[in-house]
Chains A and B, each alone.
Chain A
Amino acid sequence: MAGLARRQLLAAAGGLWLLRPVQATPESLNAALRDFSGGAPLREGRVQLDIAPLVDNGNTVPVSVAVPGVPAEQVLALALFTERNPQSEVVRVQFGPRAGERTMATRMRLATSQQLVAVARLADGSCWMQRVDVIVTLSACLE
Protein backbone atom coordinates (compact mmCIF):
# COMPACT_ATOMS: atom_id res chain seq x y z
CA MET A 1 0.00 0.00 0.00
CA ALA A 2 2.87 2.36 0.81
CA GLY A 3 4.42 1.70 -2.56
CA LEU A 4 1.14 2.49 -4.24
CA ALA A 5 0.72 5.79 -2.38
CA ARG A 6 4.28 6.80 -3.17
CA ARG A 7 3.85 6.05 -6.87
CA GLN A 8 0.69 8.15 -6.96
CA LEU A 9 2.46 11.01 -5.23
CA LEU A 10 5.38 10.76 -7.60
CA ALA A 11 3.06 10.45 -10.55
CA ALA A 12 1.45 13.69 -9.41
CA ALA A 13 4.91 15.24 -9.34
CA GLY A 14 4.97 15.04 -13.09
CA GLY A 15 5.50 11.69 -14.73
CA LEU A 16 6.56 8.32 -13.47
CA TRP A 17 9.82 8.32 -15.40
CA LEU A 18 11.29 11.24 -13.50
CA LEU A 19 11.67 10.84 -9.78
CA ARG A 20 14.97 12.30 -8.70
CA PRO A 21 14.80 16.05 -7.99
CA VAL A 22 17.04 16.80 -10.96
CA GLN A 23 16.11 19.40 -13.47
CA ALA A 24 17.65 21.17 -16.40
CA THR A 25 18.35 24.78 -15.64
CA PRO A 26 18.58 27.75 -17.98
CA GLU A 27 22.35 27.46 -17.48
CA SER A 28 22.52 23.80 -18.45
CA LEU A 29 20.30 24.46 -21.47
CA ASN A 30 22.54 27.32 -22.57
CA ALA A 31 25.61 25.16 -22.03
CA ALA A 32 24.09 22.42 -24.18
CA LEU A 33 23.21 24.94 -26.90
CA ARG A 34 26.73 26.35 -26.85
CA ASP A 35 28.21 22.87 -27.00
CA PHE A 36 26.20 22.04 -30.11
CA SER A 37 26.74 25.37 -31.84
CA GLY A 38 30.47 25.42 -31.08
CA GLY A 39 30.10 28.96 -29.80
CA ALA A 40 28.50 30.31 -33.00
CA PRO A 41 25.65 32.76 -32.35
CA LEU A 42 22.17 31.18 -32.43
CA ARG A 43 19.71 32.93 -34.69
CA GLU A 44 15.95 32.39 -34.66
CA GLY A 45 14.49 31.04 -37.85
CA ARG A 46 14.86 28.52 -40.67
CA VAL A 47 14.19 25.57 -38.37
CA GLN A 48 10.74 24.00 -38.24
CA LEU A 49 9.91 22.18 -35.01
CA ASP A 50 6.64 20.25 -35.18
CA ILE A 51 5.01 19.11 -31.95
CA ALA A 52 1.44 19.19 -30.66
CA PRO A 53 0.87 22.27 -28.46
CA LEU A 54 -1.14 20.14 -26.03
CA VAL A 55 0.06 16.55 -25.77
CA ASP A 56 -2.02 13.47 -24.92
CA ASN A 57 0.68 12.06 -22.65
CA GLY A 58 4.09 13.43 -21.75
CA ASN A 59 5.64 9.95 -21.75
CA THR A 60 5.51 9.58 -25.54
CA VAL A 61 5.31 12.74 -27.63
CA PRO A 62 5.86 12.71 -31.41
CA VAL A 63 8.20 15.48 -32.52
CA SER A 64 9.87 16.31 -35.82
CA VAL A 65 12.46 18.80 -36.97
CA ALA A 66 13.04 20.07 -40.51
CA VAL A 67 14.96 22.88 -42.19
CA PRO A 68 12.84 23.79 -45.20
CA GLY A 69 14.19 26.29 -47.64
CA VAL A 70 17.85 25.51 -46.96
CA PRO A 71 19.61 23.28 -49.55
CA ALA A 72 20.00 19.84 -48.01
CA GLU A 73 23.78 19.55 -48.31
CA GLN A 74 24.19 22.75 -46.29
CA VAL A 75 22.54 21.27 -43.18
CA LEU A 76 25.08 19.24 -41.23
CA ALA A 77 23.33 18.45 -37.99
CA LEU A 78 20.17 18.91 -35.93
CA ALA A 79 19.58 18.85 -32.21
CA LEU A 80 16.70 19.11 -29.79
CA PHE A 81 16.88 20.43 -26.23
CA THR A 82 14.43 20.98 -23.40
CA GLU A 83 14.07 23.59 -20.75
CA ARG A 84 12.70 21.54 -17.86
CA ASN A 85 13.41 17.84 -18.30
CA PRO A 86 15.96 16.31 -15.89
CA GLN A 87 18.54 16.88 -18.61
CA SER A 88 18.67 19.41 -21.43
CA GLU A 89 19.60 16.87 -24.13
CA VAL A 90 16.97 15.11 -26.15
CA VAL A 91 18.62 14.01 -29.38
CA ARG A 92 21.42 15.03 -31.72
CA VAL A 93 21.52 13.97 -35.34
CA GLN A 94 24.32 14.14 -37.87
CA PHE A 95 23.69 13.71 -41.59
CA GLY A 96 25.94 11.74 -43.93
CA PRO A 97 26.39 11.80 -47.70
CA ARG A 98 23.41 9.48 -48.31
CA ALA A 99 20.89 11.49 -46.31
CA GLY A 100 17.89 12.79 -48.23
CA GLU A 101 15.99 15.73 -46.79
CA ARG A 102 17.49 17.11 -43.60
CA THR A 103 14.68 16.06 -41.31
CA MET A 104 14.17 13.70 -38.44
CA ALA A 105 11.15 12.54 -36.46
CA THR A 106 11.08 10.73 -33.15
CA ARG A 107 9.09 10.41 -29.91
CA MET A 108 10.27 12.08 -26.74
CA ARG A 109 9.46 12.36 -23.07
CA LEU A 110 8.29 15.65 -21.62
CA ALA A 111 8.44 15.90 -17.85
CA THR A 112 6.20 18.92 -17.67
CA SER A 113 4.89 21.87 -19.65
CA GLN A 114 7.96 23.67 -21.01
CA GLN A 115 9.81 25.09 -23.95
CA LEU A 116 11.60 22.99 -26.55
CA VAL A 117 14.47 24.29 -28.66
CA ALA A 118 15.40 22.80 -32.03
CA VAL A 119 18.74 23.81 -33.52
CA ALA A 120 20.32 23.30 -36.94
CA ARG A 121 24.03 23.68 -37.67
CA LEU A 122 24.82 24.68 -41.24
CA ALA A 123 27.93 24.13 -43.36
CA ASP A 124 28.86 27.82 -43.17
CA GLY A 125 29.11 27.52 -39.39
CA SER A 126 25.88 29.38 -38.68
CA CYS A 127 23.29 28.00 -36.26
CA TRP A 128 19.56 28.52 -36.44
CA MET A 129 16.86 27.63 -33.96
CA GLN A 130 13.17 27.59 -33.20
CA ARG A 131 11.52 27.51 -29.78
CA VAL A 132 8.09 26.00 -29.13
CA ASP A 133 6.05 25.95 -25.93
CA VAL A 134 4.27 22.69 -25.12
CA ILE A 135 1.62 21.98 -22.51
CA VAL A 136 1.67 18.61 -20.77
CA THR A 137 -1.17 17.37 -18.60
CA LEU A 138 -1.10 14.36 -16.33
CA SER A 139 -2.95 11.19 -17.32
CA ALA A 140 -5.90 10.20 -15.20
CA CYS A 141 -6.07 6.80 -13.51
CA LEU A 142 -2.44 5.75 -13.16
CA GLU A 143 -1.26 2.49 -11.68
Chain B
Amino acid sequence: MRRGLLVLGLLAAALPLQADDRRSSFLDMSPATQAMQRDDSLNPGMLWVLQGAQAWSQPAATGGPSCAGCHGEATQSMRGVAARYPAFDAALGRPVDLGQRIAACQQRVQPGAADAEAGLALQAYVAHQSRGLPIAPPDDARLQAPRERGQQLWTRRLGQLDLACSDCHEALAGRRLGGSPIPQGHPTGYPIYRLEWQGLGTLQRRLRACLTGVRAEPFAADAPEWVELALYLAWRARGMPLETPGVRP
Protein backbone atom coordinates (compact mmCIF):
# COMPACT_ATOMS: atom_id res chain seq x y z
CA MET B 1 0.00 0.00 0.00
CA ARG B 2 2.72 2.45 1.01
CA ARG B 3 4.87 1.57 -1.99
CA GLY B 4 1.87 2.12 -4.21
CA LEU B 5 1.28 5.46 -2.56
CA LEU B 6 4.95 6.31 -2.90
CA VAL B 7 4.82 5.69 -6.63
CA LEU B 8 1.60 7.66 -6.96
CA GLY B 9 3.06 10.39 -4.80
CA LEU B 10 6.12 10.75 -7.01
CA LEU B 11 3.93 10.84 -10.09
CA ALA B 12 1.58 13.31 -8.46
CA ALA B 13 4.42 15.58 -7.43
CA ALA B 14 5.48 15.69 -11.04
CA LEU B 15 1.94 16.35 -12.26
CA PRO B 16 0.26 19.25 -10.45
CA LEU B 17 -3.35 19.98 -11.29
CA GLN B 18 -3.87 21.68 -14.60
CA ALA B 19 -5.94 24.84 -14.53
CA ASP B 20 -8.98 23.18 -16.10
CA ASP B 21 -8.87 20.11 -13.82
CA ARG B 22 -9.52 22.11 -10.70
CA ARG B 23 -12.73 21.67 -8.70
CA SER B 24 -13.90 23.26 -5.50
CA SER B 25 -14.68 20.74 -2.76
CA PHE B 26 -18.19 22.22 -2.86
CA LEU B 27 -18.75 19.81 -5.73
CA ASP B 28 -17.72 16.82 -3.59
CA MET B 29 -20.52 17.38 -1.09
CA SER B 30 -24.02 15.94 -0.95
CA PRO B 31 -26.91 18.02 -2.35
CA ALA B 32 -28.13 18.73 1.20
CA THR B 33 -24.80 20.23 2.26
CA GLN B 34 -24.50 22.16 -1.00
CA ALA B 35 -27.95 23.61 -0.35
CA MET B 36 -26.81 24.61 3.13
CA GLN B 37 -23.99 26.67 1.65
CA ARG B 38 -25.88 28.09 -1.30
CA ASP B 39 -28.73 29.65 0.67
CA ASP B 40 -27.84 32.46 3.09
CA SER B 41 -30.94 31.67 5.15
CA LEU B 42 -29.62 28.12 5.69
CA ASN B 43 -25.86 28.77 5.97
CA PRO B 44 -24.71 28.67 9.62
CA GLY B 45 -21.57 30.59 8.60
CA MET B 46 -23.79 33.63 8.09
CA LEU B 47 -24.23 33.81 11.87
CA TRP B 48 -20.55 34.73 12.06
CA VAL B 49 -20.78 37.08 9.09
CA LEU B 50 -23.59 38.90 10.90
CA GLN B 51 -21.52 38.99 14.06
CA GLY B 52 -18.62 40.45 12.08
CA ALA B 53 -20.87 43.06 10.50
CA GLN B 54 -21.82 44.26 13.93
CA ALA B 55 -18.23 44.18 15.22
CA TRP B 56 -17.19 46.22 12.16
CA SER B 57 -19.25 49.19 13.29
CA GLN B 58 -18.52 48.95 16.97
CA PRO B 59 -16.00 51.37 18.49
CA ALA B 60 -13.38 49.60 20.56
CA ALA B 61 -14.09 49.23 24.26
CA THR B 62 -10.75 50.95 24.87
CA GLY B 63 -11.85 54.05 22.97
CA GLY B 64 -10.24 53.46 19.58
CA PRO B 65 -12.23 53.91 16.37
CA SER B 66 -14.39 51.16 14.92
CA CYS B 67 -13.28 49.44 11.72
CA ALA B 68 -15.89 51.55 9.94
CA GLY B 69 -14.28 54.67 11.37
CA CYS B 70 -11.27 54.20 9.10
CA HIS B 71 -12.51 51.79 6.43
CA GLY B 72 -16.05 53.02 5.90
CA GLU B 73 -18.57 50.63 4.38
CA ALA B 74 -17.03 47.18 4.18
CA THR B 75 -19.20 46.26 1.19
CA GLN B 76 -17.12 48.77 -0.77
CA SER B 77 -13.75 49.08 0.95
CA MET B 78 -13.27 45.37 1.61
CA ARG B 79 -14.46 44.10 -1.75
CA GLY B 80 -11.66 42.03 -3.30
CA VAL B 81 -9.40 42.26 -0.24
CA ALA B 82 -9.70 38.66 0.98
CA ALA B 83 -9.08 37.42 -2.57
CA ARG B 84 -5.60 38.96 -2.42
CA TYR B 85 -4.54 37.31 0.82
CA PRO B 86 -2.08 36.14 2.10
CA ALA B 87 -0.18 39.34 1.36
CA PHE B 88 3.05 40.94 2.44
CA ASP B 89 2.68 43.21 5.46
CA ALA B 90 5.36 45.90 5.30
CA ALA B 91 4.98 46.91 8.94
CA LEU B 92 5.46 43.34 10.17
CA GLY B 93 8.03 42.54 7.47
CA ARG B 94 6.50 39.21 6.51
CA PRO B 95 3.55 37.68 4.71
CA VAL B 96 0.34 37.47 6.73
CA ASP B 97 -3.03 35.86 6.21
CA LEU B 98 -6.24 37.81 6.57
CA GLY B 99 -6.75 36.85 10.22
CA GLN B 100 -3.27 38.03 11.15
CA ARG B 101 -3.79 41.26 9.22
CA ILE B 102 -7.01 41.98 11.09
CA ALA B 103 -5.39 41.14 14.44
CA ALA B 104 -2.44 43.42 13.67
CA CYS B 105 -4.82 46.25 12.79
CA GLN B 106 -6.78 45.69 15.98
CA GLN B 107 -3.62 45.76 18.07
CA ARG B 108 -2.41 48.98 16.44
CA VAL B 109 -5.67 50.88 16.43
CA GLN B 110 -7.66 49.28 19.23
CA PRO B 111 -4.97 48.15 21.67
CA GLY B 112 -6.24 45.71 24.27
CA ALA B 113 -9.57 45.26 22.50
CA ALA B 114 -8.67 42.39 20.18
CA ASP B 115 -10.18 39.05 21.03
CA ALA B 116 -10.04 35.86 19.01
CA GLU B 117 -13.80 35.52 18.73
CA ALA B 118 -14.32 39.01 17.32
CA GLY B 119 -11.32 38.48 15.06
CA LEU B 120 -12.86 35.34 13.58
CA ALA B 121 -16.20 37.05 13.00
CA LEU B 122 -14.47 40.00 11.35
CA GLN B 123 -12.50 37.60 9.18
CA ALA B 124 -15.73 35.95 8.06
CA TYR B 125 -17.33 39.32 7.37
CA VAL B 126 -14.39 40.71 5.41
CA ALA B 127 -13.85 37.53 3.39
CA HIS B 128 -17.57 37.42 2.62
CA GLN B 129 -17.17 40.73 0.78
CA SER B 130 -15.06 38.85 -1.77
CA ARG B 131 -17.59 36.08 -2.35
CA GLY B 132 -17.80 35.30 -6.03
CA LEU B 133 -14.52 37.03 -6.83
CA PRO B 134 -11.57 35.04 -8.17
CA ILE B 135 -8.70 34.24 -5.84
CA ALA B 136 -6.02 36.71 -6.97
CA PRO B 137 -2.60 36.24 -5.34
CA PRO B 138 -0.68 39.54 -5.53
CA ASP B 139 2.18 39.82 -7.98
CA ASP B 140 4.65 40.68 -5.24
CA ALA B 141 8.28 39.55 -5.48
CA ARG B 142 8.54 39.42 -1.69
CA LEU B 143 6.01 36.58 -1.67
CA GLN B 144 7.91 34.38 -4.04
CA ALA B 145 10.32 32.72 -1.60
CA PRO B 146 7.66 32.08 1.07
CA ARG B 147 5.34 30.67 -1.61
CA GLU B 148 8.04 28.31 -2.81
CA ARG B 149 8.59 27.14 0.75
CA GLY B 150 4.85 26.50 0.87
CA GLN B 151 5.09 24.37 -2.24
CA GLN B 152 7.91 22.40 -0.68
CA LEU B 153 5.73 21.83 2.40
CA TRP B 154 2.93 20.65 0.12
CA THR B 155 5.12 17.92 -1.35
CA ARG B 156 7.07 16.99 1.76
CA ARG B 157 6.29 13.70 3.53
CA LEU B 158 5.10 14.35 7.07
CA GLY B 159 4.06 12.50 10.17
CA GLN B 160 3.88 8.91 11.25
CA LEU B 161 1.85 8.10 8.15
CA ASP B 162 4.67 9.61 6.10
CA LEU B 163 2.35 11.25 3.62
CA ALA B 164 2.70 14.50 1.73
CA CYS B 165 -0.34 16.69 1.08
CA SER B 166 0.16 16.11 -2.62
CA ASP B 167 0.01 12.33 -2.18
CA CYS B 168 -3.72 12.54 -1.45
CA HIS B 169 -4.84 15.86 -2.85
CA GLU B 170 -3.30 15.62 -6.30
CA ALA B 171 -3.49 12.17 -7.93
CA LEU B 172 -5.91 10.67 -5.41
CA ALA B 173 -8.35 13.58 -5.32
CA GLY B 174 -11.79 12.36 -6.29
CA ARG B 175 -11.17 8.93 -4.79
CA ARG B 176 -12.44 8.06 -1.31
CA LEU B 177 -10.80 7.80 2.09
CA GLY B 178 -12.96 5.85 4.51
CA GLY B 179 -16.20 6.84 2.79
CA SER B 180 -15.37 10.52 2.37
CA PRO B 181 -14.37 11.94 -1.00
CA ILE B 182 -10.79 13.28 -1.12
CA PRO B 183 -10.94 16.93 -2.22
CA GLN B 184 -8.28 18.73 -4.21
CA GLY B 185 -7.85 21.01 -1.21
CA HIS B 186 -8.46 24.48 -2.63
CA PRO B 187 -9.08 27.17 0.03
CA THR B 188 -12.14 28.60 -1.68
CA GLY B 189 -14.52 28.90 1.26
CA TYR B 190 -12.56 30.13 4.26
CA PRO B 191 -13.43 30.73 7.01
CA ILE B 192 -15.66 27.69 6.63
CA TYR B 193 -18.51 26.30 8.68
CA ARG B 194 -17.28 22.78 9.11
CA LEU B 195 -20.01 20.30 10.06
CA GLU B 196 -17.40 18.27 11.94
CA TRP B 197 -16.59 21.30 14.13
CA GLN B 198 -20.21 22.44 14.31
CA GLY B 199 -18.65 25.87 14.08
CA LEU B 200 -16.69 28.31 11.95
CA GLY B 201 -12.95 27.97 11.50
CA THR B 202 -9.99 29.17 9.55
CA LEU B 203 -7.76 27.56 6.94
CA GLN B 204 -5.10 27.25 9.61
CA ARG B 205 -7.45 25.22 11.79
CA ARG B 206 -8.27 22.94 8.87
CA LEU B 207 -4.61 22.47 7.95
CA ARG B 208 -3.91 21.64 11.57
CA ALA B 209 -6.46 18.85 11.30
CA CYS B 210 -4.71 17.64 8.13
CA LEU B 211 -1.41 17.40 10.00
CA THR B 212 -3.10 15.54 12.83
CA GLY B 213 -4.62 13.28 10.21
CA VAL B 214 -1.19 12.13 9.06
CA ARG B 215 -0.08 12.01 12.71
CA ALA B 216 2.36 14.84 12.36
CA GLU B 217 3.16 17.36 15.06
CA PRO B 218 1.32 20.53 13.96
CA PHE B 219 3.44 23.65 13.49
CA ALA B 220 3.42 26.16 16.36
CA ALA B 221 0.47 28.56 16.33
CA ASP B 222 2.49 31.51 15.04
CA ALA B 223 4.83 29.54 12.80
CA PRO B 224 5.46 30.93 9.32
CA GLU B 225 4.68 27.54 7.76
CA TRP B 226 0.92 28.12 7.95
CA VAL B 227 1.13 31.28 5.87
CA GLU B 228 3.64 29.73 3.47
CA LEU B 229 1.27 26.85 2.82
CA ALA B 230 -1.65 29.27 2.48
CA LEU B 231 0.36 31.29 -0.04
CA TYR B 232 1.01 28.22 -2.15
CA LEU B 233 -2.60 27.04 -1.87
CA ALA B 234 -3.88 30.46 -2.95
CA TRP B 235 -1.56 30.45 -5.94
CA ARG B 236 -2.64 26.87 -6.78
CA ALA B 237 -6.30 27.98 -6.61
CA ARG B 238 -5.80 31.31 -8.42
CA GLY B 239 -8.79 32.27 -10.48
CA MET B 240 -11.21 30.04 -8.57
CA PRO B 241 -14.05 32.02 -6.97
CA LEU B 242 -14.23 32.57 -3.24
CA GLU B 243 -17.31 31.08 -1.53
CA THR B 244 -17.04 32.50 1.97
CA PRO B 245 -18.68 31.36 4.14
CA GLY B 246 -18.25 27.86 2.74
CA VAL B 247 -19.93 24.87 4.38
CA ARG B 248 -17.86 21.70 4.45
CA PRO B 249 -18.17 18.25 6.07
| Residues of A that sit less than 8 Å from B by CB | 4, 8, 16-17, 52, 54-57, 59-60, 62, 137-143
Contacts and interface: CB of A to CB of B under 8 A. Distances in A.
Interface stretch (B48-56, B77-85, B208-216, B220-228): B208-216
B196 A59 contact: yes
Interface stretch (B4-12, B13-21, B25-33, B131-139): B25-33
Given A52-B32, A140-B180, A140-B182, 11 more contacts: A4-B212, A8-B212, A56-B195, A57-B33, A57-B195, A57-B249, A60-B195, A139-B249, A140-B177, A141-B210, A142-B213
A104 to B, nearest CB: 15
A133 to B, nearest CB: 16
B212 A138 contact: no
Contacts of A139: 180, 196, 249
B93 interface: no
Interface in B167-181: 177-180
Nearest to A4: B212
Nearest to A136: B179
Interface of B: 29-33, 35-36, 177-180, 182, 195-198, 205, 208-210, 212-213, 249
Contacts of B196: 16, 57, 59, 139, 142
Nearest to B206: A141
A137 to B, nearest CB: 3
A56 B33 contact: yes
A137 B176 CA distance: 11
A52 B33 CA distance: 10
Contacts of B179: 137-138
Given A56-B249, A57-B196, A59-B196, A140 B32 contact: no
Contacts of B180: 56, 137-140
In the A-B complex, the 3 residue pairs with the smallest Cβ-Cβ separation, listed nearest first, are A137-B179, A141-B213, A57-B195
B198 A142 contact: no
Contacts of A143: 197, 205, 208-209, 212
17 contacts: A16-B196, A52-B32, A56-B30, A57-B33, A57-B195, A59-B196, A59-B198, A60-B195, A137-B180, A138-B179, A138-B180, A139-B180, A139-B249, A140-B182, A142-B196, A142-B213, A143-B205
A55 B195 CA distance: 11
Contacts of A55: 30, 32
A141 B209 contact: yes
Contacts of B182: 140
A44 to B, nearest CB: 25
A55 B35 CA distance: 14
A17 B249 CA distance: 15
Contacts of A57: 33, 195-196, 249
A50 to B, nearest CB: 9
Contacts of B31: 52
A56 B25 CA distance: 12
B195 A59 contact: yes
B62 to A, nearest CB: 33
A49 B27 CA distance: 25
B249 A142 contact: no
